[in-house]
Amino acid sequence: MAKKKILILSSGSGSIAEAIFGAVDSGELELEIVALISDKDSQSLVRAKSHDVDSHYLPLGPDRKQWNQSLLNLVADHEPDLVVSVGFMRILAPEFVRRFKVLNTHPALLPSFPGAHAVRDALAAGVSVTGTTVHWVDEGVDTGPIIKQVEVPVLPGDSQSELHERIKIQERILIVETLKKLLDTGEQ
């Protein structure tokens, strides 16, 4: 049986993508990573190259509609079974999420604190527990069906960066567990 093919979208440091690379390299995940695409000249591109994963830098230009089409075409060229968004800080166009199955990690317990500032918003709200969510992407902002969540306590005196780093530790574990479950059950 052919391995499932995933394509990773990542805008930042790539630590969650790195967890996927490591799980594939160790044999924990039996899948093929066909490419990583970043909208920023980011560390995630460096990490992809270090694992011999095809990487693409697709910066957002002044024409968002053109960028959306370029992203759709680039992903389509790789024919993934699944697109995995890990720290990709762009809202995907409706045409994109209708065409591809897309999984996303989010640094909060959705539906609480959707959007780009989830960790900051959780701290501002004074919650004692936040966490991370893996969910399917739909046409809304962090509104797709939830697959799994893990709680992370907010500690007294937590800074945004301290809390976010603890959440990312759980995100790295959760994305690998989720991909493994999807592969084992054949869910898509």
Residue numbers annotated as active site: 106
Query: C-alpha distances in angstroms, 168 versus 19, 58, 163, 187?
Result: 10, 24, 9, 25
Residue located via tokens 């045409």: 95
Question: Which of 152, 131, 135, 156 is closest to 144 using CA atoms?
Answer: 135
Question: Which of 35, 32, 34, 36 is closest to 4 using CA atoms?
Answer: 32
SS3 state at 7: strand
Sign of the CA dihedral running 170, 144, 72, 88:
negative
- Around 57, how many Cα atoms within 13 Å sit in the side-chain half-sphere? 11
Contact call for residues 81 and 1 (beta carbons, < 8 A): no
